[in-house]
Structure 1
Amino acid sequence: MRNCAGDRKKIIEIFERFVKFLQNDPNEIEYTLNIGETCENLSKLQKSFHETSKTNSVLEHINRKNKIVFYDEIGFYRMLMSYENTAPMQQFANEVLSPVMQYEKKAHTQLIETMWAYFECDCNLQRTADKLFSHKNTVKYRLHRVEQLTGKNFTNRYQSQELYNALMIYYFLEKG
């Protein structure tokens, strides 16, 4: 929805009441309310539904569960969804991450998962270790291994951003 500040407020209020209702459910239902763009006709509604389905898959992966998400708030993912030809994105993700993925297949490690958790935890080693139920040194070792495999350094913001973007694209294409 665009340019609908008043409607957003109403939607958020209704959603908050819905959340309170669900909190009484013993089954602990997981949900995400995904609000797409306004559609003037049936073909735009079909496109919006497709985008919403992709968005839900991405939101599930990045742990945006039990939240309300407006389409115009998903940033970089919205840009990814606008491309019909995903081959260049796939090529970029492969160029950056293939050494890590190949190593994971042979050594059965959790390097991709560790990188994702590290970025989710704002590059904080201790929070990443807590999230993964691992020791801080284990996380540190895994990230160092990623650096060795990719030639990218997590302390270099451009290289770190490249790793993060490749991960976002990888998960977007995998879940989409």
Structure 2
Amino acid sequence: IGRNHGAGMSGLRESFREAQQSILLGSVMHKQRTVIHYNDLGIYRLLAQCKDTAERNSFFEETVGKLFAHDQSSDLQLVKTLRLYFQHDEKLTETSAALFLHVNTLKYRLRRIEKLTGYSLQKSEGKMMLHIGLKLADLMGDDYRYR
């Protein structure tokens, strides 16, 4: 559902655009059809505006593309590991429990992620780049060859 932009055609157009984006991105965020308020779309609101497919794909490749490629030939599930690590607010014990792993195995996977991507999970810039890369992957959906 979009925000209220007031009366007039321009307000109506903007509200309609936001409502459409809420429906589309709500299904990406929740993997099912659902109603979601535009304000709840978070970073997806910004990323969905990225129309330059080449730049989007380049950013994806530079951040998490190697993890997706690695997961095609390995059973380490690095993408799932990184997603759950972020979902559990970088708490090792909670993440390892969600993955049914020992904490040391999780630490190994996180070091592997850092080595493959070149981004440190100890630095806010590295975490941000990887997190945005995962969000882009969500938006790209089946359009991307690794998925």
Change (3 A) 1:116 1:159: same
For residues 68 and 105 of structure 2, the distance between their equivalents in structure 1, rounded to whole angstroms, comes to 18
Opposite residue 83 of structure 1, the aligned amino acid is C
Whichever of the two has the greater Rg, that structure is 1
| 1:37 is aligned to 2:7 | no
For residues 112 and 122 of structure 1, the distance between their equivalents in structure 2, rounded to whole angstroms, comes to 16
Among candidates 104, 107, 110, match of residue 143 of structure 1: 110
Change (3 A) 1:73 1:49: closer
Opposite residue 73 of structure 2, the aligned amino acid is K
Greater strand fraction, Structure 1 or Structure 2: 1
For residues 104 and 53 of structure 1, the distance between their equivalents in structure 2, rounded to whole angstroms, comes to 30
For residues 136 and 103 of structure 2, the distance between their equivalents in structure 1, rounded to whole angstroms, comes to 27
Q: Which residue of 1 aligns with 2:28?
A: 58
Deviation at 1:165, TM superposition (A): 1.2
Q: CA RMSD in A?
A: 2.7
For residues 45 and 158 of structure 1, the distance between their equivalents in structure 2, rounded to whole angstroms, comes to 34
Count, aligned residues: 138
Give identity over the alignment, percent: 28
Runs of 4+, deviation exceeding 6 Å: none
Alignment map for 1:1-176 (pairs within 5 Å) = 35-38=1-4, 47-60=17-30, 69-174=36-141
Opposite residue 37 of structure 1, the aligned amino acid is R
Structure 1 unpaired stretches of 5+: 1-34
For residues 37 and 173 of structure 1, the distance between their equivalents in structure 2, rounded to whole angstroms, comes to 25
Structure 2 unpaired stretches of 5+: none
Deviation at 1:44, TM superposition (A): 5.4
Alpha-carbon deviations, 1:103-132, whole Å to 9, x = none? 211113210010010011111111111222
For residues 70 and 98 of structure 2, the distance between their equivalents in structure 1, rounded to whole angstroms, comes to 23
96-105 or 41-50: which moved more? 41-50
Opposite residue 80 of structure 2, the aligned amino acid is E
Opposite residue 36 of structure 1, the aligned amino acid is G
For residues 63 and 93 of structure 2, the distance between their equivalents in structure 1, rounded to whole angstroms, comes to 25
Change (3 A) 1:123 1:95: same
Change (3 A) 1:99 1:82: closer
